[in-house]
Copies of this chain bind each other. A is one copy, B any other.
């Protein structure tokens, strides 16, 4: 579990120069003067694990970047069926310039810090400087690719393949942030409950639980506690996921 030790603002500094996502977020390409203008319109907000950040339909007067922690985008049907349509990791962007209201529920699944920009000034800045729009386009295209990969998972993969794919994706993203020696077994903490996993994968939580047990029984993964997963053989996991074995990214 992500510990909720800190009740104060969880950042050492609010200076963009010290920001952990400075080089990956929507501001990645900004020059010093652009950064200064962003700095004027920004403010931080913190949320505890489980809190709702935004309700679908809410009026949005800001857009934001995830600084630390993890959040989900969820869509809900009238009868309560829910589907997670996006996982927001540090540096991911929330909100849509030009849109009045939120289209999805945003929920913190771990403690979360967001860097928010007042919407109107942000939109104005986008008009006068190209770097933000360029970076946002790039990030949106990446998200679109991720969404399409998820469509393949939801439409065509078996429950077992879905679980293996989710673990592989979390492990890969984890590795991208904290690179490890090639030889070690990969270890991760699942940032989602079984229920959240089921909402992401289009399954029930019972099926998620059963398939995790099955992968464990078959030696594909090793579980310690509820959330800690060791992957002794990453290629084996990829085979189980149904994806191309050569872990190549999209070309």
**Could you list which residues of chain A lie within 8 angstroms of chain B, going by C-beta atoms?**
57, 73, 75, 77-79, 81-83, 85-86, 96, 98-101, 103-104, 127, 130, 133-134, 136-138, 140-141, 143-145, 147-152, 154-156, 201-202, 242-244, 250-251
Contact = CB atoms under 8 A, between A and B. Distances in A.
A152 B85 contact: yes
A79 B134 CA distance: 37
Contacts of A244: 78
Copies in the complex: 2
A71 to B, nearest CB: 15
A201 to B, nearest CB: 7
Given A141-B140, A151-B151, A156 B100 contact: no
A134 B150 CA distance: 26
A251 B202 contact: no
A148 B133 CA distance: 22
Contact of A152 (B83, B133, B148, B152): B83
10 contacts: A57-B251, A86-B148, A96-B141, A98-B138, A99-B250, A127-B130, A133-B134, A154-B154, A155-B202, A156-B202
A207 to B, nearest CB: 13
A99 B145 CA distance: 12
Contacts of A78: 242, 244
Top 10 A-B pairs, shortest CB-CB distance: A155-B202, A154-B154, A147-B147, A85-B148, A101-B251, A83-B152, A83-B155, A81-B156, A137-B137, A154-B155
Given A136-B137, A137-B137, A147-B151, 4 more contacts: A78-B242, A83-B155, A143-B144, A154-B155
